[in-house]
Structure 1
Amino acid sequence: MAPRPHQPVPDRSSTMTKVITAAPPLHGHTGPILAVTADLVRRGHEVVFVGGSRFARTVEAMGARFVALPTDADFDDRDLNAAFAGRAEAPAGPARVGYDLMHVFTDPMPGQYRALRELLAEFPAEVVIADTAFLGAQALTMALPKGGRPVVISVNAGAPSLPSVDTAPFGFALPPMPGEQGRARNAALNAEAEALGAPLALYAAEIFARAGVAWPDGSFVGILATSSDHYLQLSVPGFEYPRSDAPASFQLIGALPSPGGDDAELPAWWADVTRGDRPVVVVTQGTAANDDLSELIVPTMQALAGRDDLLVVAATARPDGPDLLVGAVGELPGNARAGSYLPFERLLPHADLLVTNGGYGGVHTALRHGVPLVVAGGSEDKPEVAARVQWSGTGIDLRTGTPGAAEIAAAVAKVLDDPAYRERAGELAVTLAEYRPLDTIAGLVDGRHPQARQ
């Protein structure tokens, strides 16, 4: 099925639908589902959000009912190493990813599933909309036939793990290779990935069995990508790899807008950003992988310290970020500014380049504003995101999560000096503007049928 842009769907909120929205208690997975929740409330639907206890006030402020996950499925993602014993000992890379898939995402499934079943007993929702990492919703589709459960819609806010004959497996961070040679490479790598993932599939089968749910045969990532009635990917053609064998449930729906930040307190130096007298380079490590600013923000500051023709803005996404940065580099270079929480919807329209560790949502926010990228992705799905940036022509993949200052300086110079990167990012901005993801989701809610399409 060839994805296509979606026109706005008329607001049919006069027919109220009972909807459950759900996400694991991780900020990057919860944020998009909260955006969907707020939109459905605005359209007049009755919505209950199931998720981490620290998001209760946010949910209630938007007019939805909040239900906390049970203690065996709730945790504070701001310190995952404290929440999950042994995680700190797992080396960054494949070992850490494997640990997280087993313990951060799969272990909480029985509690998630139990919470959904208990809620459905007193709130007979017609639709469940969940982040793809909320495995309790996947369990619902495996345990009950379509006629005996709500429609289940998965929303994926990260790089898709959907296997394909046209792509290398998720985790290899390899762009597509055309022709028969590419398909042969993909077949070999897919077989290798399935063998490597067999212990994870066995582990998932054991955890699902504890909840009374039978895990089907197949790879872990393949099953999770195909078990929902709808698998909605928050991206567009041109950035996501083509998959000729994608199931009918798979749909690219565009990127969700990030919070506008119109009421955010701006730093005293904000006029330096808006003055427009020199190119603006923004650097960030996102909201999750920013414990150690020396991974990307510090070397970027060092790399560009001598570039008085640039303004370098560090978005640290933590309240103590500017102080930590000063402690790491001494006095900030004259061309540098540092902030805690900077509203990207207000910052990126003035940016000429984003240096980032490759969060999927942050990269799409940059592309919505036509901003090219330099990406240093080393954890979670970030290497996959970085590979897509380079494949799409919108920036450079540094192929490491801890680049040196010289690597960053060269990449920044190349992207700023070659207008092709900016032009390609602008083309994707036009494509992204043609999609209406919230309207697409609302259309499926209004349809209330597993095969409903716009």
Structure 2
Amino acid sequence: MATIGCIVGPDPGHALPVLGIGAALRRRGHEVTVWTGRRHASLAAHHDLAWRELPLLAPQPGDEDLGVRLHARPVGMARALTPDVARTAPDLLIVDTLTRAGALTAGLLDVPHVEVVPHHLPDPALDLPPVGLGRPLPRTPWRRLDDRQIVRRQLASHAVGERQASAAAADLGLSAWPGADLRLLQTLPSLERARGVWPTDTVIAGPLALDPALPPLLPPDGDAPLVVVTDSTATALDRSLAETAIRALQSADVRLVVTTAGLPARRDGRIVVGLAPHGPLLAHADVAVSPGGGGFITKAAAAAVPQVVVPLAGDQREAAARLRDVHAARIVRPSRCTPRALRWAIVRALSDTRSRAVAARLAAEAAELGPEFAAERCLALLATAQGASA
């Protein structure tokens, strides 16, 4: 039996994939402790995971600077976190990609660690469009040239970040920033663009996110097509799809379920609004609508559901581009997301046999991956590390 620690911030899009792997490891009989925000304490207990509060989560001066947030601030968090983690004597740490104090803690304790990335591979590459902009693959020499110029700037920015990371690690007496022994990506093979060099430490793991421990929402009665809409769970985002979706579909011949914390719960004819686990809803959905968070789009893919994506920020733009590449989703730009535009995209998705065939293919990929697959890779890493130290 191994002792495993999971370290992740409170945003559900990042916490739920890490908790998904932790729950899979606990089912195998391993001792798992999770350091995260209070909002996930009951979910951890539901899956028999020990819970500890991640220290120093409150906003701090300087957080608006990305370099400070990713490199300097984790030093203070690691100082507060490491003694508590050390008391559990972990054999392995599983760390969210943005909760970088976890990587420093692994380095201070000299234990192997796994980095969980809740979406596509974020590494810039000169043979691909710049990551994060949601650009399609280039079709002209001029676009390829423009892409490469932007990617070179991204690589230069990465180099600056690496220097900042080294300086932060040195503040803790480490010779270098502790790199992950394994990276697990919450995506699917078809949603990763072919690149000349794939990092040897990185594995596509499929859908990982746990459903929250919430009562299920029953869809509206009837046999009209079921449309499931979700808002983003990113805490820094103040935009919503919920109201637009309700206005778009309130008179359409569909059943609508909207999961959101931004509107009062409601059950009115063919419209249901509330908070609920996505899994049971997606099992019966005909179309899934979201901003493109990694957890939701991989769950929808695993359920073979065609998608409509309105990417609001960050990695959502890139996720939308990957779905568009393989014709798995229709994309609506946020600036053009009127009720009429969203309704049209959903109506077209309902009748699109090509996207339904692609969704079936993605579901077959997802069936081979997921939390159990990720748990196996974590345990294989641990066995290799323990064998090397024996």
The TM tier, using the shorter chain, reads 0.7 to 0.9
Whether contact under 8 Å (1:157, 1:360) holds in the other structure is yes
Task: Provide the rounded CA distance (Å) in 2 between the counterparts of 1:133 and 1:291.
Answer: 17
How far the C-alpha of 1:260 sits from its partner, in A, is: 8.2
Instruction: Determine whether 1:345 maps to 2:279.
Output: yes
Letter paired with 1:316: T
Which runs of structure 2 are paired with 1:160-309 in the superposition (5 Å)?
A: 160-177=121-138, 184-195=145-156, 204=165, 207-213=168-174, 227-256=179-208, 258-259=210-211, 264-266=215-217, 270-272=219-221, 275-276=222-223, 278-288=224-234, 295-307=240-252, 309=253
Q: 1:408 aligns with which of 335, 342, 354?
A: 342
In 2: Cα distance, 1:266 partner to 1:405 partner: 24
Q: Which residue of 2 aligns with 1:376?
A: 310
Matched residues, percent identical?
Answer: 26
- Aligned mates of 2:335, 2:203 — CA distance in 1: 30
Task: Tell me what 2:11 maps to.
Answer: 26
Q: Secondary structure at the match of 1:386?
A: helix
Matched, 1:131 2:96: yes
Q: Does structure 2 retain, via aligned residues, the 8 Å contact 1:112–1:134?
A: no
When structure 1 is superposed on structure 2, of 175-184 and 405-414 the one drifting more is 175-184
- Partner of 2:102, secondary structure, is helix
Residue equivalent to 2:256: 312
Query: Tell me, what secondary structure is at the counterpart of 2:311?
Result: coil
**Count of matched residue positions in the alignment of Structure 1 and Structure 2:** 386
Pairing 1:321–2:282 present: no
Structure 2 equivalent of residue 358 of structure 1: 292
Q: 8 Å contact 2:11–2:235 — kept in the other structure?
A: no
Deviations 1:101-157 (A, max 9, x none): 44655454113422453245433322111111121233356x57xxx8212111111
Which of 91, 102, 117 is the aligned partner of 2:82? 117
Question: Which of 414, 417, 423 is 2:351 aligned to?
Answer: 417
**Contact 1:234/1:254, CA 8 A, preserved across alignment:** yes
Matches within 5 A, 1:53-92: 53-70=38-55, 72=56, 74-75=57-58, 83=59
The structure 2 residue matched to 1:426, chosen from 354, 360, 367, is 360
Match of 1:13 in 2: none
2:360 partner amino acid: G
Q: Over aligned residues, Cα RMSD in angstroms?
A: 3.3
How far has the Cα of 1:447 moved from its partner? Answer: 4.7
CA contact (8 A) 1:229 1:450 kept: no
CA-to-aligned-CA distance 1:259-281 (integer Å, 9 cap, x gap):
386x72545xx352xx32x2122
**Is residue 185–residue 203 contact of structure 2 (8 Å, CA) maintained in 1?**
yes
The more displaced of 39-48 and 172-181 is 172-181
Q: Which runs of 5+ in 1 are unaligned?
A: 1-15, 76-82, 88-98, 217-223, 327-331
Q: Which ranges in structure 2 are unaligned for 5 or more consecutive residues?
A: none
CA change 1:260–1:139 in 2 (3 A) is: closer
Pair 1:280–1:55, CA change in 2 (3 A):
closer
CA distance in structure 1 between the partners assigned to 2:323 and 2:65 by the alignment? 24
Letter in 2 for 1:314: V
| Amino acid in the other structure paired with 2:51 | F
Distance apart, 1:252 and its partner CA: 0.7
Cα distance, 1:159–1:426 mapped onto 2, change above 3 Å: same
Deviation for aligned residue 1:65? 3.0
> Following the alignment from structure 2 to structure 1, what is the Cα–Cα distance between the partners of residues 61 and 338?
31
TM (normalized to structure 2)?
0.85
- TM value normalised by structure 1: 0.74
